[in-house]
Amino acid sequence: MKMQDLALLALLGLIMLPFVASSALLDAYKGFNAEHGMVMAFIKFGVLATLGEVIGQRIRTGGYRLARFGVLPKMVVWGILGLFISIAFKVFAIGSPYCAEYLGLDGVVAAMNGGFSMLKLAGALTISALMNLIFSPVMMTAHKVTDMHIARHQGSLRALCRPIAVAEHLKAMDWQTQWGFVFKKTIPLFWLPAHGLTFLLPPDSQILFAALLGVALGIVLAIAGPKPATAQA
């Protein structure tokens, strides 16, 4: 472990320490989170998913080569994606149990509001399955397109105000990796059970857990990308 890794761990520890040491600060955070969920979704995913990509960069290249990485543009993009992820969580958490009952699995709606049961587990997995099959591929592809756009502008903030060549990036995308790894492997093997666990948790914990999964999401999508051609960046 390099000094840079220790410095990152120390920084994360300093950020988390006040919330562990002060119950008042933790309560204030929970209150703000409850009243301004979308604002917090932007901040959480902007910070945590970008952190995941930074860690992924470290794993892929052996160092924190961030000169052209585009940390700030990535934070903005992840923040915006976080808004859609937060909305998707609400839509699928409410709608999927009704869909399950429509398909014949009676009692799921009521079970999702109660304690743990096999019916609630079935409901949570239904929510996760529908969200990951319908929403996640679109979101992951949108992220990849914006990632390519940021890379084209060498991580500059200019990327945030330049039009995105969506069709061009879609043609240039490595669909072998996007389909063969990101969709075909990470969705059924990781995201489906991970989000199934998420929807078993109380609502406040779901928000926090989803944000922490944002770190894993950033790492997975960063590692899935091609390795840099050189180590000069």
Residues 6 or more apart in contact with residue 227 via CB below 8 angstroms: 60, 61
pLDDT single digits (tens) 40-56: 889 988 988 888 888 87
CA 226 centroid distance within chain: 20
The average confidence (pLDDT) of the chain is 85
Residues 6 or more apart in contact with residue 177 via CB below 8 angstroms: 224, 225, 226
Angle between helices 23-35 and 3-21 (to 10 degrees): 90
Q: Say how far apart CA 187 and CA 66 lie, in whole Å.
A: 28
pLDDT single digits (tens) 62-115: 777 777 889 999 999 999 999 999 999 999 999 999 999 999 999 999 999 989
- Answer whether residue 229 shows pLDDT above 50: no
CA 9 centroid distance within chain: 20
Q: Is 142 in contact with 85 (CB distance < 8 Å)?
A: no
Residue 223's pLDDT is 65
DSSP classification of residue 157: G
Specify the 3-state DSSP secondary structure of 66: coil
In terms of phi and psi (left: phi > 0; alpha: psi -120 to 50; beta: otherwise), the region of 226 is beta
Residue 84's pLDDT is 94
Q: Transcribe 115-136 into DSSP letters.
A: S--HHHHHHHHHHHHHHHHHTH
- State the pTM of this model: 0.86
pLDDT single digits (tens) 116-134: 999 999 999 999 999 999 9
Q: Say how far apart CA 167 and CA 119 lie, in whole Å.
A: 43
Where in the chain are the domains?
36-224
